Amino acid sequence: MDWIYILNLAGVFVFAISGTLTAIDSDFDVVGAIIIGFITALGGGTLRDILIGETPVWWMQDALSLYAIVAAVLCSYLFKKSILKLRKGMFIFDTIGLGLFTILGLQKTLELGLSPLIAVIMGVVSAVFGGVIRDVLSNIVPLIFRTEIYASACVAGALVFLVLDGLRLPLELSMVVSMIVVFLIRYFAVRRKWALKF
C-alpha cells in the first residue's frame, strides 16, 4: 500500500502548510507556527488514536511525517507569497487530504473490530479535528461549524466506502472512489457556496 503512504504524507504536508499559514496570519512567532503546523497535520489522527486506544499515537513511529511537517513549515515561510497565489492548488490538495484522512481513519477503526458507525465517526474525527484544534488555539470559532459543507463531505464519503466495501469491491477501488466522493462534494460545496442550514 505504498501509494497510500505517499498520499498520506502529501496530506500531512498540505495540512501543515495550511496550519502554518493560519499561524502567520494570527501573528504567531516561528515556534508557534511550527506547533500549529504539527497540530493541524497530526491532530485529527492523534485524537482518533487516543479515542480508540491505539497509543503511542501513530506519528511516534513515523519520523518521515514529522520531517514532512518541518519541510512544510519551512516552505510556508520561504514561499509564502507564491503559496498564497496558489491558493486554488492549496485548496485542491487540502481537499485531497480531507478525503484521504477520512477513509484511512475509517479503515483503521474497522480493522480494530469496532462497528461501522464508530468507524464513520472516527473517519470524520481524523479528517477534521486537526483543523478544529488549530482554530481553537488561534481563538477562532472552528470554521467547520459555520461555513460550507466540510464534515458532511467526510460523512458522505465514509458511507459510500461502507456501501462499496459491503458490495465486496476491491479495497483499493472502494477507497479511491470514496475519496473522490469526499473531494467532489467539498469541491462543489465551495465553488457553488452550498450550505446546510435550516
Residues that bind its own copies (CB under 8 A): 23, 26-32, 35-36, 38, 46, 50-53, 55-57, 60, 63, 66, 77, 112, 114-115, 117-118, 121, 132, 136-142, 144-147, 149-152, 155, 195-198
Distance (Å, rounded) from C-alpha 6 to C-alpha 81?
26
Q: How far is the CB of 24 from its own copies (least distance, A)?
A: 9
The smaller minimum CB distance to its own copies, of residues 8 and 46, is found at 46
**CB within 8 A of 143, min separation 6: which ones?**
131, 135, 150
| 138: three-class secondary structure by DSSP | coil
| 8: three-class secondary structure by DSSP | helix
Q: How far is the CB of 169 from its own copies (least distance, A)?
A: 26
The smaller minimum CB distance to its own copies, of residues 29 and 172, is found at 29
**CB within 8 A of 197, min separation 6: which ones?**
none
Q: How far is the CB of 13 from its own copies (least distance, A)?
A: 17
The angle at the Cα of 50, spanning 150 to 106, to the nearest 5 degrees, equals 45
The smaller minimum CB distance to its own copies, of residues 6 and 195, is found at 195
Name the one residue in this structure whose C-alpha cell is 466506502.
Answer: 161
Q: How far is the CB of 75 from its own copies (least distance, A)?
A: 13
The smaller minimum CB distance to its own copies, of residues 2 and 27, is found at 27
Q: How many CB atoms lie within 10 A of CB 106?
A: 31
Distances (CA, A) of 92 to 14, 23, 98, 131: 10, 20, 10, 16
The smaller minimum CB distance to its own copies, of residues 7 and 186, is found at 186
Q: How far is the CB of 172 from its own copies (least distance, A)?
A: 27
Name the one residue in this structure whose C-alpha cell is 472512489.
Answer: 177
Q: How far is the CB of 122 from its own copies (least distance, A)?
A: 9
Q: How many CB atoms lie within 10 A of CB 93?
A: 17
The smaller minimum CB distance to its own copies, of residues 37 and 97, is found at 37
